[in-house]
Amino acid sequence: MTAVVIDGKAFAAGVRARVAAHVARLREEHGVQPGLAVVLVGQDPASEVYVRNKGVQTLEAGMASYEHKLAADTSEVDLLALIGQLNADRAVHGILVQLPLPGHLNADLIINSIDPAKDVDGFHISNVGLLGTGQKAMVPCTPLGCLMMLRAHHGSLAGMSAVVVGRSNIVGKPMAQLLLGDSCTVTIAHSRTRDLAAVCRGADILVAAVGRAEMITGDMVKPGATVIDVGINRVARDGKARLVGDVDFASASKVAGAITPVPGGVGPMTIACLLANTLTACCRAHGLPEPEGLTV
């Protein structure tokens, strides 16, 4: 079998186009423009690239973009004060604090100081609780992007067996909650799971969010399964730097029914879903109908 390759780049472009069309209507019909504030503390090169991309795509979607770049030694008090200002700013509908934060800052404290209604990353404890209890939440962007692609590929996911490898608060756990919400039978695997290969082979839907280059190989995949590769790992191949996923694409794509590549799979969906979440937050703030199909 040769798997269908799920084109996350094209899918994300479609999501961004739908967001931009909805934003244009909001501006024309209601005089409302969604605004996203991104806060970056320090000069981590990878974070600077992410923040720049987010800013560009926010503007391309017709939204307002506010970037706050703070020195690496910014105090917790000053950062909390900035978040307080952004919480109160009616032009700002979404607030994202770029992670990781420098070690002297308490990330949980900072994230939980964001107004949950503006928490477009979906990491605030209130949103975690809302998602966990099946209530309307801001949903973390990467798992939301994975769910959108799975729904588009399969239609209903009800009754499917899903295995999520990885139990982080950012990807693994919310991914599992979303799959459960769509009535999958969900298993969460992690570093202490016994016989990971056998667990993975039971999955109709296999989501890899581990951070270990190409560790999920074809012999761990059920024939015909859908494989979603969240991993982004930088490796050296033939003297060149390359990005690979947590899934060994060459062997897994011979067994799976569908698979996301790295790059060009889950990655582009993450920023697209950030824009979707900002739009959703703006609609909720103004009591306007939410865009269909861009949230759960």
Interface pick for ligand NDP out of 38, 128, 230, 244 (rule CB under 6 A): 230
Give the interface segment with ligand NDP, choosing from 76-84, 150-158, 224-232, 251-259 (CB under 6 A): 224-232
Site for ligand NDP (CB under 6 A): which residue of 165, 205, 228, 294? 165
Least distance (Å) between residue 260 CB and ligand NDP? 9
Candidates 41-49, 52-60, 89-97, 170-178 — which segment interacts with ligand NDP by CB under 6 A? 170-178
At its nearest, how many Å lie between ligand NDP and the CB of residue 216?
9
List the one residue from 34, 35, 267, 291 that touches ligand NDP (CB under 6 A).
Answer: 267
> Considering only 121-129, 150-158, 266-274, 287-295, which stretch makes contact with ligand NDP by CB under 6 A?
266-274
What is the residue-wise DSSP string for 134-156?
A: T---PPPHHHHHHHHHHHHHHS-
Would you say the C-alpha torsion 19, 25, 30, 31 has a positive or negative sign? positive
- For residue 133, which phi and psi values (nearest 5 degrees)? -105, 15
CA distance 63 to 55: 10
Element (H, E) at 36: strand 35-41
Q: Do the Cβ atoms of 260 and 7 come closer than 8 Å?
A: no
The site map against ligand NDP for 197-216 (x = CB under 6 A) is ------------xxxx----
Residues making up the annotated binding site for NADP(+) are: 166-168, 232
The DSSP output letter for 210 is S
Q: Give dist(CA 126, CA 124) in Å, integer.
A: 5
Asked if residue 192 binds ligand NDP (CB under 6 A), the reply is: yes
Residue of 121, 182, 246, 248 marked active site? 121
Query: Looking at 79-87, 112-120, 151-159, 161-169, which segment touches ligand NDP (CB under 6 A)?
Result: 161-169
In the complex, the smallest distance separating the C-beta of residue 266 from ligand NDP, rounded to whole angstroms, is 4
Handedness of CA 233, 235, 241, 245 (dihedral sign): negative
Q: Which helix (H) or strand (E) holds 76?
A: helix 76-88
171 interacts with ligand NDP by CB under 6 A: yes
Is 229 catalytic? The answer is: no
For ligand NDP, give the closer residue by CB, 270 or 295: 270
Closest CA to 164 of 154, 176, 156: 176
Catalytic residue selected from 57, 98, 222, 248: 98
Give the shortest CB-105-to-ligand NDP separation in angstroms.
Answer: 18
Q: How far apart are CA 255 and CA 126, in angstroms?
A: 40
| # of chain residues touching ligand NDP (CB under 6 A) | 25
The CA–CA distances, whole Å, from 228 to 118, 137, 162, 197, 259 equal: 28, 23, 11, 16, 6
Catalytic residue flag (residue 85): no
Of residues 74 and 166, the one with the C-beta less far from ligand NDP: 166
Q: Does 189 bind ligand NDP (CB under 6 A)?
A: yes
Our finding on whether 143 is near ligand NDP (CB under 6 A) is: no
Give the CA dihedral 234, 41, 118, 54, nearest 10 degrees: -50
Q: Which is nearer to ligand NDP, 144 or 255 (CB)?
A: 144
Q: Are 33 and 292 spatial neighbours (Cβ–Cβ below 8 Å)?
A: no
Q: Is residue 121 annotated as part of the catalytic site, yes or no?
A: yes
144 touches ligand NDP by CB under 6 A: no
Catalytic residues: 54, 98, 121
